[in-house]
Amino acid sequence: MIDTASHLMRQGESPSVSEVAEVAGVSRSTAYRYFPTEAEMVQAVVGETLGPILAWQSDLDAPGDRVASLIQESFPRLSKNAATFRAALRLSLENQSGSGLDENKSFARGHRIDLLKRALAPLADRCSEDELTRLSQALSMIFGIEGLIVLKDIWGLDGKAAEDVALWAANALVDAAIADAKKGKKEL
């Protein structure tokens, strides 16, 4: 079911659980036993798709290099699976308006925060916790499907050009945060 849903989403479709069951050759009752809602199905597909990104690790020392490594590892996968992540974004937005997920379910989020914290770990001795949080928040605007959507849909960039812009912006943000941290320590 996950493979079938993922394949259909990569082709730009937003299939229902019933449609995925039909294409996968699984009974509807079995499909709904595993995925009672479209949101739960999409969440499972996203989890499968994010696997390699969530496993990202770096031995690099320089924070800018670590953030660049994370973006270079993530952007091709985000671009290849953009339809899946768009579906997840749509469901997340619908959930915010109260029309998406069941009230007892939540659409898992927060992977981006954990990944950015890992990437910025070498800055812990140079920046305050507030400075690291602000940098992570700023990087969150360019690291993820939302930034990719802006760069591709609004600016018309292909995946590699979008990645290059994200790398440039991330480098500028990391450099600015390091400069701010140095400036703040001099003022003390």
Residue 158 covered by a domain: yes
Question: According to the model, what pLDDT value does residue 107 have?
Answer: 53
Number of domains in the chain: 1
pLDDT tens, residue order, the chain (188 aa): 999 998 888 887 888 999 999 999 999 999 999 999 988 898 898 888 888 899 999 999 999 999 999 999 999 999 988 888 888 888 788 776 554 444 445 555 678 999 999 999 999 999 999 999 999 999 999 999 999 999 999 999 999 999 999 999 999 999 999 999 988 766 54
How far lies 53's CA from each of 35, 84, 133, in Å? Answer: 24, 15, 21
Q: How far apart are CA 80 and CA 84, in angstroms?
A: 9
Q: pTM for the full model?
A: 0.80
Classify residue 18: in a domain, yes or no: no
Domain range for residue 77?
55-187
CA gap 39, 37 in Å, rounded: 5
C-beta separation of 49 from 78 below 8 A: no
pLDDT number for residue 186: 60
User: Using H for helix, E for strand and C for coil, what is the string for the chain?
Assistant: CHHHHHHHHHCCCCCCHHHHHHHHCCCHHHHHHHCCCHHHHHHHHHHHHHHHHHCCCCCCCCHHHHHHHHHHHHHHHHHHCHHHHHHHHHHHHHHHCCCCCCCCCCCCCCHHHHHHHHHHHHHCCCCCHHHHHHHHHHHHCCCCHHHHHHHHHHCCCCHHHHHHHHHHHHHHHHHHHHHHHHHHHHHC
Residue 128 belongs to some domain of the structure: yes
Distance CA(11)–CA(23), nearest Å, equals: 14
Q: Is residue 173 part of a domain?
A: yes
| The pair of three-digit structure tokens given for residue 162, joined into one six-digit string | 């979008």
Is 127 among the domain residues?
yes
Tell me, yes or no, whether 149 lies in a domain.
yes
Confirm whether 63 is domain-assigned: yes
Per the domain annotation, does 80 fall within a domain? yes
